[in-house]
Structure 1
Amino acid sequence: MDPASAPIEVVHDFSFLGLFLQADPIVKGVMILLVVASIACWTVVFEKLVRLSGAKRQARSFATLVGSGGTLDGKGTGLAAHITQAGLEAWRDQDPTETRAERRDRIERAMRAALAVDVKRLRGGLTLLATAGSTAPFIGLFGTVWGIMNSFSAIAKSQDTSLAVVAPGIAEALFATAIGLVVAIPAVMAYNKLTGDVSHVQGSFVSSIATLGNRLARDRGVQSRAAAAE
């Protein structure tokens, strides 16, 4: 047999980049979508880690301030300042006819409302992690199914069932599933961790709010100290 007439073997690149470049356009689009989702998820994770770190410090400082009976001024920024300011504003708006229990309940409601606004901001972006964690495997599976369909089409066209014919298409298809899992697993883990941290911060503030509300309801000297601080 003349070597020159021998069929030329097609060399397939099974590296990550090679699998992406050789993939079907639809499978390639699935891969790009998953990579973009992964970048977005990691952006949310790092942003939440920074913000939650600051929120935890503020929760500890707020609990220390409330427990020590320190002076309240409601100035500054952050969760603690917003909550303190809401409590002081509710305290100043007093009704001589209300009981101490009613005054305490009104002050605590004002502080919990301020806390809810800040907690909502902390939770912003977590839905993206939940969505990516639940849908990324199925998006990757769609790319896998499409790639396997192309492999069977290649078998039908070439009338050859050898592994060399189907292996490239199957490898590209399974690569899409792998990317989907790489996106989903960290997203689910990060969502659970960050959701737990937000709940912990919220619980810490709620506990301190109950103590502060009781203090503001009975302490007649708070207004004078707050005015002196201003």
Structure 2
Amino acid sequence: MNPVPHDFTPLGLFLAADPIVKAVMIGLALASIACWAVIIEKSFALGRLRREVRALASASVTPTIIAEGSDDLTAIALRAGLPEWRLGQGVQETDGEYRARLDGAMRKAVLRAVRRTEPGLQILATTGSVAPFVGLFGTVWGIMNSFTGIAASNDTSLAVVAPGIAEALFATAIGLVAAIPAVMAYNRFVGGLTGARQEALGAASDLALRLSRAPRQQVAG
């Protein structure tokens, strides 16, 4: 009697898998969806951040830059620096100390703003490091079940062994599908955010220097 043909499509392998292996596959699929959502969001966020950094680097100290409700890096930096600028240079304060006070206030505000783009990277890092091992667990569990079935049927033919092995290996494949884009995206975003953060802090320092030299009538309250 010929064995019933086994469905080796992804859906067929999933439906035929052990409940624990199915749970592993579903978890990895959900992790992959979450990673792609983060990848899409961070792509837009990083692009927006780079545009704001370029604007900050070329900003001038004028009232039009600090419109109420604006949340770009230039407005954030100036709103942080203007209170210190209005206080003016203290009697016992050197020019360098005065500039450092402005610079510190503006850099802190810019750094806080840049850090708002970082949440979500942990999902990529965790998925990239854990997903292959979760998939391997599903594979090991599936192979154990296959060997148990082989022992029970006392039949070691390829037609009996192959379906269970294929179902088990499919879990590892899903783990790799989830992990590889996550690792690549994490490395790209970390590098991009690190570069943007350094450029933003440098641009904030330059703007602080220009603000420290600005005449009182140039900057509006």
Matched, 1:77 2:71: yes
1:151 aligned residue (146, 149, 159): 146
- Residue aligning to 1:203: 198
- Distance in 2, matches of 1:102 and 1:218, equals 13
Matched, 1:15 2:6: no
Contact residue 124 and residue 183 of structure 2 kept, 8 A? yes
Counting only pairs closer than 5 Å after superposition, residues 161-200 of structure 1 correspond to structure 2 as: 161-200=156-195
- Residue aligning to 1:86: 80
- Distance in 2, matches of 1:171 and 1:120, equals 44
Contact residue 52 and residue 73 of structure 2 kept, 8 A? yes
Q: Please identify runs of 4+ aligned residues in structure 1 that moved more than 4 A.
A: none
Cα 1:70/1:108, change in 2 over 3 Å: closer
For structure 1, the residue ranges without an aligned partner over 5 or more in a row are 1-6
- Identical columns (%): 53
Contact residue 61 and residue 210 of structure 2 kept, 8 A? no
- Residue aligning to 2:47: 53
- Residue aligning to 1:3: none
TM-score by length of 1: 0.89
Q: Which has the higher contact order (CA 8 A, sep 6+)?
A: 2
Aligned partner of residue 7 in structure 2, secondary structure: coil
Contact residue 61 and residue 219 of structure 2 kept, 8 A? no
- Residue aligning to 1:4: none
1:224 aligned residue (188, 209, 217): 217
- Distance in 2, matches of 1:79 and 1:22, equals 53
Cα shift at 1:128: 0.8
Cα shift at 1:176: 0.4
Cα shift at 1:213: 1.9
Q: How many aligned residue pairs are there?
A: 217
Cα shift at 1:80: 2.2
Cα shift at 1:130: 0.4
Contact residue 62 and residue 80 of structure 1 kept, 8 A? yes
2:32 counterpart letter in structure 1: S
- Distance in 2, matches of 1:46 and 1:89, equals 37
Cα shift at 1:127: 0.9
- Distance in 1, matches of 2:24 and 2:57, equals 48
TM-score by length of 2: 0.93
